[in-house]
Amino acid sequence: LAGKLHRQLFFHARRYRQLTVCVSVIQVSDIYPLQAIRTAMSRKLPGWEAPWISAERLPLDDSLKAHTISAAYACFLDHVLGSLVEGKYADFVVLPSTSWREFADDIPGHVLATYVNGKQAYP
């Protein structure tokens, strides 16, 4: 798809709530999840002065869901991935933020620890 139709279908995540999965297009977004979450919330890439279509910024909750449970659902893996509940893989990171507000205001660029299947893998 190209042009106006492409923009209407793919760049209005906030307006079209049924689009619940964020994807990384390397020229537009970042492949790293924390930066991709920040980009979905700010609609600005590093170095950009102003957001692109600022009305389409996603709130923290929607951005986190798009990068976790909704992404797992889109891959037909939500029965084992995407949320921390009994019976699913316990893969998660520990961030230096002390609250969701702090996380949303200044998404960290690094993790303190990584757990894979419930076991600490980093550091």
Which helix (H) or strand (E) element contains residue 16?
A: none
- Is pLDDT larger for residue 25 or for residue 22? 22
80 by Cβ neighbours in 10 Å (0-12 / 13-18 / 19+) ranks as exposed
Query: Are the beta carbons of 111 and 94 closer than 8 angstroms?
Result: yes
Total domains in the chain come to 1
pTM of the predicted model as reported, rounded to 2 decimal places: 0.68
**For residue range 75-118, what is the model confidence (pLDDT) as tens digits?**
899 999 999 888 999 888 898 988 888 887 777 778 899 999 88
Distances (CA, A) of 104 to 13, 25, 29, 88: 18, 22, 18, 26
Q: Print the domain residue range for 102.
A: 3-122
Instruction: Give pLDDT, residue 118.
Output: 87
**For residue range 28-83, what is the model confidence (pLDDT) as tens digits?**
566 778 888 888 888 877 777 887 777 878 888 888 888 888 888 888 999 999 99
